[in-house]
Amino acid sequence: MQARFTICLKKTLTTKTLLQLFFVIAVSLLIVSCKKGDTGPAGPKGTANVIYSAWFTPSTYTKDTVFGNYGFSYNKATTDITQQIVDSGTVITFGKLDGYNPIIWPTNQIAQLPISLAYLSGTTSNIDIWSALVTAGNLKIRLVSSTNQYGSISNAHQFRYIIIPGGTKSVVTSAKLGLVNGNASSLLQMSYAEICQRLGVPE
């Protein structure tokens, strides 16, 4: 009876030892298999090389008349806007219209052009429309007043542009920029701060 008990105890210890050894080996294999993998190949490139200007302040505007309405224009010459950009890229222009009374346009408020402002000048309703016209080598900032309010324009207004060159559409890039089907026009629905964040542009 004593001999049988000893044999059973030895068998139990042997089985327990084997289970412990198996557990240690399994954990070791698991740790080795979970190491960081090698870096994979780079993904396809999409819209890249975003270009942006500093804020600029037009010193003088050129006055013209179209269909009886006064217009005031400023031409910003720039080599950033190439014919290829005009044909296949996107140019987004922003305005900081600090030349207005803050009641009409809060100081340091920024918006994309075109900007339409409706307000009363005395008792007369007026609409100012600021637009940006792009041609190769030039960005034209233009103001038209519906009631010919101005003889000159304040030089406190500031502008800047962000250019997104055209390129091969990429799901990766589109997701990063928040574009819809690789189309940069979806950026036009975003705020200035959000666009700068998505494109990595300093504000």
pLDDT of residue 139: 96
Report the distance separating Cα 26 and Cα 48, nearest Å: 47
| Encoded tokens for 198 | 């998505």
For 124, the enclosing helix (H) or strand (E) is strand 124-135
pLDDT of residue 186: 67
Residue carrying the six token digits 């994309």: 112
Q: What is the pLDDT along the chain (203 residues), one digit of tens a residue?
A: 444 444 343 444 455 554 554 554 554 544 444 343 343 333 334 345 889 999 999 989 999 888 877 899 999 999 999 999 999 888 999 999 999 999 999 999 999 999 999 998 888 898 999 999 999 999 999 999 888 888 888 999 999 999 998 753 433 333 334 444 445 556 777 888 888 888 888 87
What pLDDT score does 184 carry? Answer: 58
Range 104-110 contact pairs with CB under 8 angstroms and sequence separation of 24 or more: 110/192
CB 62 within 8 A of CB 103: no
- The pLDDT score that the predictor gives to residue 185 is 56
Residue 9's pLDDT is: 39
Tokens of 69: 């309405």
Nearest to 62 by CA among 54, 53, 71: 71
Q: Which of 71, 97, 110 is nearest to 158 (CA)?
A: 97
